[in-house]
């Protein structure tokens, strides 16, 4: 695996999105490449910091909740109408 490919797979690896073969190949590359190993640990540190930083999460206001619900309901009604038209 090239370093360029390993850097592309950093985030998918951290997010457990790789299949077993890709993950094994990625790990083997990290065992052999100090540069990518450092990049991996830096990315992992950033990922963990962001995941655990509750101040980054935003609790929606009641108004925003209402608007989202209304939008979802409208979208659902349009879907039901389309399905009904297609069936009858």
Residues that bind Zn ion (CB under 5 A): 3, 6, 33, 36
Cβ distance 18 to 12 under 8 Å?
A: yes
Indicate the angle between helix axes 34-52 and 20-32, nearest 10 degrees: 120
Nearer residue to Zn ion within complex by CB, 17 or 31: 31
Dihedral angle of Cα 4, 42, 11, 47, to the nearest 10 degrees: -170
Give min distance, CB of 33 to Zn ion, in A: 3
Q: What's 18's DSSP letter?
A: S
Give min distance, CB of 65 to Zn ion, in A: 46
Nearer residue to Zn ion within complex by CB, 42 or 53: 42
Give min distance, CB of 41 to Zn ion, in A: 13
Nearer residue to Zn ion within complex by CB, 3 or 46: 3
């Amino acid at each position: 695996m090239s370093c360029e490919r390993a850097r592309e797979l950093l985030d998918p690896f951290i997010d457990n999105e790789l299949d077993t073969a890709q993950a094994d190949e990625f790990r083997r590359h990290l065992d052999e490449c100090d540069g990518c190993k450092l990049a991996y640990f830096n990315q992992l540190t950033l990922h963990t910091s962001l995941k655990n930083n509750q101040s980054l999460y935003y609790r929606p206001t009641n108004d925003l909740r209402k608007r989202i619900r209304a939008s979802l309901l409208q979208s659902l009604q349009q879907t039901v109408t389309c399905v009904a038209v297609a069936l009858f």
